[in-house]
Amino acid sequence: MSSEKTNQSWGGRFSEPVDAFVARFTASVDFDKRLYRHDILGSQAHARMLTQAGVLSEAERDAIVAGLDEIRSEIEAGTFEWRVDLEDVHMNIEARLTERLGVVGKKLHTGRSRNDQVATDIRLWLRDEIDAILVELNRLQAGLLQLAETEADTIMPGFTHLQTAQPVTFGHHLLAWFEMLSRDHERLVDCRKRVNRMPLGSAALAGTTYPIQRQVTCELLGFEAIGGNSLDGVSDRDFAIEFCAAASLAMMHLSRFSEELVLWTSAQFQFIDLPDRFCTGSSIMPQKKNPDVPELVRGKTGRVFGALTGLLTLMKGQPLAYNKDNQEDKEPLFDAADTLRDSLRAFADMVPAIKPKREIMREAARRGFSTATDLADYLVRKGLPFRDCHEIVGHAVKYGVDSGKDLAEMSLDELRRFSDQIEQDVFAVLTLEGSVNARDHIGGTAPAQVRAAVQRGRALLAQR
């Protein structure tokens, strides 16, 4: 054996030190040290509770709380020495506290285990991460509302199968993303409720014999509820899986948004322009302006999907209670939260700066017979069955393809070749403006409805 150090938190049981490679292989401090703020917060609350329970004196509590504050300052100043032989963030902080306070520092761990300590730290950390993510999500939604209001009258083609279907407004299209993100917000808020349950007091797996007061710690740490079973409290990570599931759905939405932005900035579409600060060029092709931010968000979606799959796989075969497998929960969870927050931030910065090319959008909507459904609806209102109307319009479209004319460009005589029910008033429904304005109901693409939806959206954001 090559290691000279033994972790003093458990070394009494062992007759030789851990191998140096095994110490590095089993250590988590390189990545779980980012939990230090929440570990210190949980330890300070634990110390205060132990004082109320009569386990620590007030002087011991004050020394522990002050000592942990000083350790936090050391960490944030970059002077703290992280030791791999101490395995994780918890033992590094406790060892430093003991170094500073002596016997008093050793009393901190009374009535708890690293099992419930780490479960508490992760929940505290994830609670804060969800709050930060929600801030960026709200910012993105506010940007979408701003742009949608500005572009409420801007006409563009709506697509199905990426084929021109019916005209819509650009504002209406943007509000579709607002709706998707609203559901993502709801999922994250709901997920936070289950994250915000306290496992501290579960100890290793069975609770503790010390007279702890879990309600005190719960209130000090701002948890909404106390975990009801000690085995479950230390061993399950379903809250992390649930977060990754919600994050995956949000990233899926951002990825779809990204795909459209990539298409719309291409020379084939030219619907929008993104500011240079969100794009890059080519090292060999001087004409290129690449939409790197949406492309990268689209690619990063796979990281979050991977985190979800990884955590599900991590948990699926574990017996109760805690197992070392759970050390592998942090890196995918950390990465999923970082990726979602950064992606939302990038989009929140970028979306208000999108510049639509209105004339190109309008011309694209004019092509492709996007008002064909409007002509069919017109004939239905004349008393014809919809299926007959569908066939009539199909013949008219075929004629348009052969003649190179859109429906609105045909003369009345040309249109009447397909039905004698068509009169001069048909041209009011064949215009792009007539088409979008006719869909004047909640959720429709009419500019008046877009503006009303923007106001509803702003009221929703104000309530959060």
Active site members: 161, 282
Distance, CA of 351 to CA of 341 (rounded, Å): 15
Distance, CA of 26 to CA of 178 (rounded, Å): 44
Half-sphere exposure of 75 (CA within 13 A, CB side): 21
- Give the DSSP H/E element, type plus range, for residue 429: helix 427-430
Distance, CA of 141 to CA of 250 (rounded, Å): 13
Residues 195 and 243 sit within 8 Å (Cβ to Cβ): yes
Place of tokens 């088409």: 435
Half-sphere exposure of 181 (CA within 13 A, CB side): 30
Residue/partner pairs of 303-307 with CB below 8 Å, 24 or more apart:
303/335, 303/336, 303/339, 304/244, 304/247, 304/248, 304/251, 304/335, 304/336, 304/339, 304/340, 305/248, 305/251, 306/332, 307/244, 307/247, 307/248, 307/332, 307/333, 307/335, 307/336
DSSP assignment string, 317-364:
TPPSS--GGGGGGHHHHHHHHHHHHHHHHHHHHHGGG-EE-HHHHHHH
Bridge-based pairing of strands 155-160 and 163-169 is antiparallel
Distance, CA of 35 to CA of 47 (rounded, Å): 18
Residues contacting 304, CB < 8 A, separation 6+: 244, 247, 248, 251, 335, 336, 339, 340
Q: Is the dihedral of CA 407, 409, 414, 415 positive or negative?
A: positive
Distance, CA of 172 to CA of 174 (rounded, Å): 5
Residues 344 and 254 sit within 8 Å (Cβ to Cβ): yes
